[in-house]
Structure 1
Amino acid sequence: MCNTWESNVIAIPKQLINSQIKSPQVFLIDHENNNRGLTDTNEALQLAESLELDLVLVSEGKEA
């Protein structure tokens, strides 16, 4: 979090969701907290959509 002292506004970084996620694959933790491992992003999006949920990118990079 960043604190902007001039205006006392706290900025929260924006998380990428759904079609904003450009990576071809993601490490997926599903709605039941099951680790589904490396999954094609399109498959993860289809799963989220079928459950009326959003796919949210929590962390980027190989060390995620």
Structure 2
Amino acid sequence: MAEPRVIVYPPDETGTRRVRVDGEILGRAYGLGDVVEFLRRAGWPDEEDWPPIEWRGGGPEVWAPEPPAPG
């Protein structure tokens, strides 16, 4: 199976998420609008043209790190 073209990684301790397109990290997203902008700059201006996005550590509504497990 091929590597996904777009991967959004889990939120880090600051709540930002790395965005990778075709194996290259494009930057850190602070929210869904940033992901949309990264995709636009990568050549996909319209949502209906986007390749599948793999959301790791939660979907597009998750922008805070998971709290530590009780100990």
Q: TM-score range by the shorter chain?
A: 0.3 to 0.5
TM-score norm. by structure 2 comes to 0.33
TM-score norm. by structure 1 comes to 0.35
Q: 1 or 2 for the larger relative contact order (CA 8 Å, sep ≥6)?
A: 2
